[in-house]
Amino acid sequence: MQSSLAVAVDLGGTKVDAALVDDTGRVLPGSRHRAPTGNGATSEQLATSVRDAITRTLTSSARTDIARVTGVGIGAAGPMDIAGGLVSPLNLPVWRGFPLQALVADTVHVTVPDVPVTMRMDGLCITLAEHWVGAARGYDNVMGMIVSTGVGGGLILAGRTVPGPTGNAGHIGHIEAGGFDDPCACGGIGCVEAVASGPRTVAWANAQGWQGSTGEELAAAFAVGEEIAVRAVRRSGRALGQAIASAASLVDLDVVAIGGGFSHVSQTLFDEARAAVAERHQFDYVTRLKIVPSALSGDGPLVGAAALVHRSEMVR
């Protein structure tokens, strides 16, 4: 018997991807299609892109593959309202309470009638992917983190996803870090996103006199030992570690898997995060947690969306 397939959809601030993913977490070759989103697009342009990516995935697939589709998984940038199937992605301001789940369902059901559609935050999908095929295999209490233009993530506790009643659990970027007073766009003070995202780390280095403008340039400056770059990476790693320790104090984690473009800036980002966690010497259950780099490919977000179908027994 051939394995079942999921239609996976990943909606982000700059693009939407769709693909077919099998029950081993593999994207079917040729099935991945992408269309632009972006914060300058109209609502109708965004909807057209979503429909286009999905329709191209379905029309480019063999009829025998379409017959194997058993469900649709959507990962989307938050916030969202999973009860209503609505999304309000911060970077797509024309969509506020937009019925993305219904749009995707209507689009897929033209070709594949009646299959169930599940939507969760992209950070939760990434965490499912780490648990399924990535760096968190074998652990039941997992926090996934993406350190990039923002800091996002998701939670798996006791082997089940934690979406929260609205679907917004896992906004790890908005845990504050003690001693940091960087203002956050959310209204918080010292949120780890306001300290340790790529752009915020670059901005802090700039304020100290560093001249570069991207995370890649910061990584290069770090690699040659430029002092401000080293301090900037250490500072962000420390904030990450403090936020991870706070999260672990609250929910008791086995492993934290960190990916995202800026997570590659330097191994020192991880070392500093681990050092900050190790300082919580009073609590063995906090210091025992492992911080590991993501083991996902660029397909991670789609694999995670597919996990909503293929690993549905874990999904709440």
* Rounded CA separation 7/12 (Å): 17
Select from 36-44, 45-53, 274-282, 294-302 the region that touches its own copies (CB under 8 A). 274-282
Select from 47-55, 202-210, 248-256, 258-266 the region that touches its own copies (CB under 8 A). 248-256
Place of tokens 């960190």: 258
Q: Does 165 bind its own copies (CB under 8 A)?
A: yes
- Exactly one of 214, 283, 297, 298 binds its own copies (CB under 8 A); which one? 283
* Rounded CA separation 160/138 (Å): 13
Residues facing residue 176 across a β-bridge: 191
CB of 262 to its own copies, least distance (A): 20
| One-character DSSP codes across 207-234 | HTT----SHHHHHHHHHTT-HHHHHHHH
Select from 17-25, 245-253, 262-270, 305-313 the region that touches its own copies (CB under 8 A). 245-253
Positions in 39-98 near its own copies (CB under 8 A): 79, 90
Residues 93-103 as b or e (16 or more Cβ within 10 Å = b): eebeebbbbeb
The radius of gyration of the chain's CA atoms, rounded to the nearest angstrom, is 20
* Rounded CA separation 281/285 (Å): 10
Q: Does 187 bind its own copies (CB under 8 A)?
A: yes
Amino acid of residue 187: G
CB of 197 to its own copies, least distance (A): 15
Structural element, H or E, at residue 35: strand 33-36
Q: Does 316 bind its own copies (CB under 8 A)?
A: yes
How many chain residues touch its own copies (CB under 8 A)? Answer: 55
Q: Does 180 bind its own copies (CB under 8 A)?
A: yes
* Rounded CA separation 152/128 (Å): 14
Closest to its own copies by CB, 153 vs 300, is 153
Select from 54-62, 216-224, 275-283, 304-312 the region that touches its own copies (CB under 8 A). 275-283
Q: At what angle do helices 215-223 and 227-251 cross, to 10 degrees?
A: 110
Q: Does 99 bind its own copies (CB under 8 A)?
A: no
Q: Which two tokens stand for residue 180?
A: 């940091």
CB of 47 to its own copies, least distance (A): 23
Q: Which two tokens stand for residue 212?
A: 């570069």
Q: What secondary structure letter does DSSP report for 173?
A: G
Positions in 121-160 near its own copies (CB under 8 A): 140-141, 155, 157-158
Closest to its own copies by CB, 216 vs 279, is 279
Residue numbers at the binding site for its own copies (CB under 8 A) = 79, 90, 140-141, 155, 157-158, 162-182, 185-191, 242-243, 245-247, 249-254, 279-286, 316
